[in-house]
Amino acid sequence: MSDFTAETETVLAVSRSILAAAEAMEWERVEQLGKERMPLIDKLFVSADLEKGGAEFLAGVIEEVQAIDRQVVCLIEAERNRAADELRRFKLSRRCEQTYWAVESE
């Protein structure tokens, strides 16, 4: 296995780990793995032999990474929406409580 192939497998493995962490709602782990992955991706572009079919192979790897990242983004958006809904409910509950106590003290 060439170094380039091993590097692509590492990038894909880290990408899959990011998705697994997002599915488990381990957001700090998602961030950590994302930071670890960036230099690995940069290294792929340096290592790729673009003259010998490497560009096409690299494009396929990047497309796979992007597909995984789209799944991660969907999970992040769903969590963000859930958190926003929870915050709205909390604020509404707080306003109701304040109104109750205002009426009660009259």
% of the chain at pLDDT higher than 70: 95
Q: Is the whole model's pTM more than 0.75, yes or no?
A: yes
DSSP string computed for 61-96: HHHHHHHHHHHHHHHHHHHHHHHHHHHHHHHHHHHH
Which has more confidence, 70 or 106? 70
Residue 23, SS3? Answer: helix
pLDDT band at 68 (very low <50, low <70, confident <90, very high): very high
